[in-house]
Amino acid sequence: MAAEVISIIAAARPDLRVEHIGSTSVPGLPGKGIVDLGTEADAAEIPAVTAAMRDLGFGPQPGPNPWPPTRPMHVGSVIHDGDEFRIHFHVHPRGTGDLAKDLRFRDALRADPALVEGYARIKRGIVEKAGGPLDGVIYQAEKGGWILEVYDRLGIERPANAGGGGPTGEAEPTAPEFDRQGRVKVVDAGMSAHIRSAGTDDVMELARLRWDMQTEEEPSAESYATFVVRFRPFAEAALRSTSWRVWVAEADASLVGNLWLQLVPRVPRPGAGSSPLGYLTNVFVAQAHRNSGLGSRLLDHVVDWSRKHPTSVVVVWPSDEAIQWYRRAGFAPSEALQRSFHDD
């Protein structure tokens, strides 16, 4: 996925040599899933590079202590196989040697499994000590001391920290995302929800979202506890199967939206393909996160995944209010017929 983003940047600024750095550039090293990229540019060219990244849709680094405009970090995200990964694009002034330091650190990790294990142990200790959601700036500051010790052992000059919370300048951004045309789409700065695939550990929160969706306008005669007893085995089986894909939006360690896609097999036809149909259902965003673009971000994951996997068509039965929203995402009316048998 780093190569995908690098190619987009290269199309806008072919003069830049962009490198994949950070934890995701080292096989087997755990991290937050942020893809760090780095490049160098002449100081006089950095404003033009920033303008080019804004034209692509990258956003500025948020937070109280960002890198300065003379050494910016541009933020975005990319959807890869249905999952969203954040992007940090560091632009170093040429001549500082800071990118070379990042590359030496990366190459040392790639060459030394013991060094990778030591770094992983430090990261796990920070997470375990936090015992819950971990602020990105605190995370960077706590691991920064170990990184500087490694710099010293490797003979790498310590970087001059102008901001950003540590040697590699990582901070926790509000992530834009790539839209359907391959550009980076800026998301409202107040929305920090992260989209990912759901797992069986999410079942209880998925039950809550389903309950909230169905009872938002009309109370249920069934108790929540009774509903969960029915929902849980269905959801667990669905998430373990290959017939369902479920995406969730997570904010502040809580699920605030979800979307379910069921893959329905088709009977094989002579001389023709038989890719499954996709049935899109249970699309829901919590009230506090509506009108922020989050629903469209969830839908983008379905569209992206369906393009990359053999899915012949995705169908949905939308409410009247949602028809135009689906049409803006490329959905169109069909001539399908249906007959109802049970009103449930």
pLDDT score of 89 more than 90: yes
pLDDT digits (tens, 9 = 90+) for 121-140: 888 887 777 665 555 556 67
pLDDT digits (tens, 9 = 90+) for 146-155: 888 888 898 9
Banded pLDDT at 116 (limits 50, 70, 90) = very high
pLDDT score of 174 more than 50: no
Give pLDDT, residue 54.
Answer: 87
Indicate the residue type of 175: A
How do the domains of the chain map onto residue ranges? 2-185, 194-328
CATH number of 194-328: 3.40.630.30
Give pLDDT, residue 189.
Answer: 31
pLDDT score of 173 more than 90: no
pLDDT score of 344 more than 70: no
Which class does domain 2-185 fall in?
A: alpha beta
Distances (CA, A) of 212 to 202, 218, 279, 283: 15, 10, 21, 12
Which of 18-32, 127-141, 201-215 bottoms out in mean pLDDT, i.e. has the lowest? 127-141
Give pLDDT, residue 180.
Answer: 38
Cα–Cα nearest to 135, from 162, 165, 159, 161: 165
| Beta strand ranges found along the chain (DSSP E) | 19-21, 35-41, 59-60, 73-80, 83-93, 177-178, 184-185, 194-197, 244-251, 254-264, 277-285, 313-316
Q: Which is more confidently placed, 175 or 166?
A: 166
Give pLDDT, residue 335.
Answer: 82
Phi, psi for 268 (deg, rounded to 5): -60, 145
pLDDT score of 172 more than 60: no
pLDDT score of 301 more than 50: yes
Q: pTM for the full model?
A: 0.52
Average pLDDT over residues 81-85: 71
Phi, psi for 259 (deg, rounded to 5): -155, 135
Cα torsion at 205, 210, 212, 215 (round to 10°)?
-150
> Do the first three CATH levels of 2-185 and 194-328 match, i.e. the same topology?
no
